[in-house]
Structure 1
């Protein structure tokens, strides 16, 4: 049976994006019950604008990754993609840590971010397997084995 890494990666990115969307929605849920939403980063309009642009980029990169996965088998892209997945895992880890510093701690957000972090680690693993499964990756692996012998 052939392993389809591209389908697995696409599914994991979609789960990740849905989790991010729910993370944002969960933060806004108090509004639907007439409660205030805490402003943890009160600042100027330009600060808020920068945050929105960064959030947009954070959402657009996985979307672009999904599209690129559908259209490329390139080893170079696989390397870049793996690097992006690692970067997102690092950023998610720091996001969990940052959410733990917000008072009061919203445990539903922490749980969701931990799940997203774990999905990210699984994405790292599958992206690495996809990288190593390419012809160029197999050649590099064989060359590494010969050098260590």
Structure 2
């Protein structure tokens, strides 16, 4: 088991999670100044399905961190690499969609670019680990 590469993967997943939590936190900061952060046309109630999707989006990397800490099985390495690619694609899509929000919140775009670059690094390290 190559602990150094597993430690790198765990660290990169942690950076990803911090980035996404900070992305959510930044979106809510205007509330501190009395600004409305509700999505236009929203009913004021978040669908329960969205809460479950968000839970899954954050829980899967948490499980990946724990699994990476305890296993280096070849099958897991392949699944893990695929997972990192899926998350990188989702982050790219998310950043692209944020460019469509008017007005564009450039601080959010900057953060999503950092998270995306971190995802590319995670892909590279996960690919090396899979080999």
TM range (shorter): over 0.9
**4+ residue runs of structure 1 moved beyond 2 angstroms?**
40-45
Q: Could you tell me which residue of structure 2 aligns to residue 57 of structure 1? A: 56
Measured in 1, the distance between the counterparts of 2:41 and 2:125 equals 35
Say whether the 8 Å CA contact 1:40–1:102 is kept in structure 2.
no
Q: Which has the larger radius of gyration?
A: 1
Structure 1: give runs of 5+ residues left out of the alignment: 133-149
Q: SS of 2:116's equivalent? A: helix
Q: Could you tell me which residue of structure 2 aligns to residue 20 of structure 1? A: 20
* Larger relative contact order, structure 1 or 2 (CA cutoff 8 Å, min sep 6): 2
Measured in 1, the distance between the counterparts of 2:41 and 2:60 equals 24
* TM-score normalized by the length of structure 2: 0.93
- Count of residues paired in the alignment: 130
* TM-score normalized by the length of structure 1: 0.82
Say whether the 8 Å CA contact 1:93–1:117 is kept in structure 2.
yes
Structure 2: give runs of 5+ residues left out of the alignment: none
Q: SS of 1:4's equivalent? A: helix
